[in-house]
Each structure stands twice: as structure tokens, then as C-alpha cells.
Amino acid sequence: MPNILNALFALTSIHNTMRGRYKRYWDYWAMCILLLCTASPQITVVQAAPIAVEAEYQVSMNGMTIATLHEHFSVQQNKYQSFSELRPSGLLAIVKPNPIQVTSVGLVLRTGLQPMQFEGGIGEAESKRVSAQFDWKTLTLQITHNGRSEQLVLSAGLQDRLSVMYQFLYLSPAQVANLSFEMTNGRNVETYHYQLGPDQEIDTPLGKLHVLHLVRQRPNNEPVVEVWLAKDQQLMPVKMRIIERNGSRYEQLISRLKLQL
């Protein structure tokens, strides 16, 4: 019984900090995947992308499973839609039961995905939700967060933090190298830099996978971010790791994957 009480006490502490860390976790994950977006808006699609993706990941913090991430992506004609849900599990679900849900819809172009609308958050409260509206005709981006809206200049190739997770499906391994890119999370627009490391082989619930290993170039001592992409699964992300400055370690590992070509 004391072990359970200690665990609940620890999870209560996690709950007190998880609101900000959930946001950071989502942003870091999107940053990782965004490196596979076009380094310039002229990059050309070189492989046939899946028309549907279903994926599930187990998320852990310091070795303890804390959530399950469900992903859905589909394409019909020249339009895409995607949905993501991060649902707390185990003891954490007792103190943090509400899932984080994110959606993105837009067009599929020769260069990949062009988002039109992004929304995300916890529940319906405006203070816990963010959104982004992409007006490609006027090159205007309207972001809404904390119940407030503002307009920014919409740069070519800009992605949202969910569309970026599927932009890589339209690229080849040869196109993954040192990249700079822009992404909006509904709160701001930022630029990120990543480098490609040596190929690796990792163990997953799907078996051994040959992967590309990508590492974020850290400005101002930012947290370490790494992502592993399955070479035989359309460069699908199968593992991600974040190590924060205080040593906290988050990992996300694929547990189920279905691609429809």
C-alpha cells in the first residue's frame, strides 16, 4: 500500500507540471517530424505516399508508461485530414484523465501537404485550445490561443504541428539531411534545425526495424530531441526521445502500424 500511495503522490506532482510539459511534448514531437518537411517550397515528391495511416505509440516518462498516442491520416483526391489523440494511461489517468486532441485538414500538392486549418487542445475551454487558419491566397496566418487571435505573415511551406507528422511520407531518404524549417503550433511560428546521423537498427513491438536517426541541433541548451524513422515503412516515425535539461526522459515507441498504399 505505501508503494501505491508513493506512486499516486509522484503522479500528483507530475500532474502539477504536466500541463506545460504536455504542450512542450507535443511541440518537440512535431519539431522532430517537421525536419522531414521541405527544406524549400520547391522540393518535389519522389515516392507514392500512403492514402491512409493508422498508428499507435506508447509514451513513457523516465521508464514509466504514462500515455497512449493514437494517429489517423487519410487522403481523398487532393485533400487530407488527420487526427491525433494523446490519452493518459495507468495511474496518471487518475489525476490527468482528459486526452489532448489535435486535427489538421488541407490539400495534397506536388510538394506534399498544404494545411488549411489546425486545431488542438484539451476539452472545449478556449483557454486550453489553440488553432491556426492558413489563407494561402493572401499569405496570412491567423493563430488563436488563450482566447486571443493575431495575424502573421504566412511563409511558403509552413506546416502545423500535426501536418508535419505526415509530410515525410512524400519524401525519400535521400532528401533527409541537414534541414531548416518553420512550423506553427497555434501560438507562434518558429524555425528549427536538425541533422541526420548514422543508420541504425532498433527493437520495437513490431520487430527489428532499420531506421534513420535524426538529432535536433540544440540552440541555447534546449532539450535533446531524437527521432527514428523506419526505412522500410515509408519513413514512418517509430521512436522519439526527449531529454530535458533536468534529466527527465520522455520516449515514444510505435506499438501498432497500418499503412494503406
Structural domain contains residue 43: yes
Structural domain contains residue 212: no
The string of pLDDT tens digits covering residues 31-49 is: 443 333 333 333 444 457 8
Q: Which domain holds residue 59?
A: 2-192+254-260
Nearest Cα neighbor of 115 from 166, 72, 187 is 166
Average the pLDDT over each of 49-53, 73-77, 101-105, 256-260 and give the range with the smallest value: 49-53
Q: How far apart (Å, rounded) are the C-alpha atoms in residues 49 and 166?
A: 9
Q: Is the pTM of this model over 0.85?
A: no
Structural domain contains residue 94: yes
Q: How far apart (Å, rounded) are the C-alpha atoms in residues 195 and 239?
A: 16
Which of the listed ranges 19-28, 37-46, 185-194 does the model predict with the highest average pLDDT? 185-194
Which H or E run contains 135? strand 129-135
Structural domain contains residue 204: no
| Residue that wins the pLDDT comparison between 61 and 222 | 61
Structural domain contains residue 92: yes
Structural domain contains residue 68: yes
* Number of structural domains the chain divides into: 1
Structural domain contains residue 228: no
Structural domain contains residue 57: yes
* Amino acid found at 200: Q
